[in-house]
Structure 1
């Protein structure tokens, strides 16, 4: 059983539904507005960072990982390090992810800082929050959920809720699934989101992994070890809904200096 730790200093322990409702309205109008995702997380994920950090300390490797406090974004932004991974590894798949999407670890960090003065403070909880943020793109790689479509992001949101808790994840996933029923006239999108939650519940706790080691594992072996099943409904929804419907929450852009992330 994980230890019980005190709350984040200065936190109220109360969810801010006013902010969450404002943010979800903006997010559903523009799925590229990732800033709203972080607003929702801060408003609703009360206690999830503390409980996640406590759970980490209760794992075999967690004490060492917490003591070392590796900043994953710094490593994931080091292109020389990223280029060093052998073909077929998780790290190589992450490299392909960066090259195919145009995303970067630095880009996600920049978005997370908007309106959040606490993201970079020197505190174990803040470090674990950054760690959770920086694992997101690796989870895209591990789960097989595409990052540049609304369907893949919504499914990963549901997966994340099953893995790390936090009402914010559930709120975003549920809202995206409900809107999809009206927009697509099909239950496939929603069923893929539900499958994401089920896959998250069935998998090993990914937040406790040593990512600096995991990146060197063969991708297939890592998925098997972590209990990551095939996203059957997700692939079916992709195929039957088509690319346009899979990304129905996104605004189209003719030009962009760096592709923005699809939030849900």
Structure 2
């Protein structure tokens, strides 16, 4: 039987290997993203995230109810007023030729956390105003790190992007650091986004949603 120290070393080696492979991959390589998520999502850090998010009534209730977005009719949402959250969500997906990322069921807190973060990712993009280009993704990654506490996965994504600038494109370092700072500060000012039942807010004006969450968009 392997000792705890040996298991830690195996996990660390696997995580390092995944990050290195990710640095070498093209941006948007979902296979590498999945491998990285599996490598760095250790039970200890996941439990810390669950405990941290459960410290708010919103987060605690989310883990109790485990609400999912359910079936989403993009065409129906696209017929809502253009200033609504639902329209903005549908327009974002339709414009980018995307489909909602959904899960049908979850069995435990860890599965719910992963499912909730996955299916609401585009909603976080919309509410935070983070673009879907590389700078917008980095800004949102920093937002996740600030809001999800021990979020090894999102921190690993930031690390990957910074390592890429070190090796391939150092001229981008300033803009990348600016994006990290903007996302971090915005997240610290904002109320928690985890656990919100977004499908109850489809008809709410996007500006009202942002105001209720104290989302202060950074200046360009």
What is the TM-score of this pair, normalised by structure 2?
0.79
4+ residue segments displaced more than 6 Å: 12-15
Which has the larger displacement, 57-66 or 154-163?
57-66
Q: What pairs up with 1:153-232 in 2 under 5 angstroms?
A: 153-165=137-149, 166-180=151-165, 182-183=168-169, 185-186=171-172, 187-232=174-219
Note if 1:23 corresponds to 2:7: no
Which has the larger displacement, 208-217 or 151-160?
208-217
Following superposition, the deviation at residue 100 of structure 1 comes to 1.5
Q: Superposition RMSD on alpha carbons, in Å?
A: 2.9
Inter-CA distance 39–216: structure 2 relative to 1 (3 Å threshold): farther
What is the TM-score of this pair, normalised by structure 1?
0.67
In structure 1, how many angstroms separate the alpha carbons of the residues matched to 2:39 and 2:27? 18
2:130 and 2:137 in contact (8 A); partners too: yes
Inter-CA distance 131–159: structure 2 relative to 1 (3 Å threshold): same
Inter-CA distance 14–162: structure 2 relative to 1 (3 Å threshold): farther
Match of 1:151 among 127, 130, 135: 135
1:70 aligned partner: 67
Q: How many pairs were matched up?
A: 209
Match of 1:50 among 47, 56, 64: 47
Q: Deviations over 1:153-189 (max 9, x none)?
A: 1211111111113122112113313423551514122
Note if 1:89 corresponds to 2:84: yes
2:110 aligned partner: 125
- Structure 1 gaps of 5+ residues are 1-11, 110-118, 236-264
In structure 2, how many angstroms separate the alpha carbons of the residues matched to 1:206 and 1:14? 34
2:37 aligned partner: 41
Q: Deviations over 1:72-128 (max 9, x none)?
A: 2x334x33553454321111111111111112224x77xxxxxxxxx9652233122
2:94 aligned partner: 99
1:139 aligned partner: 124
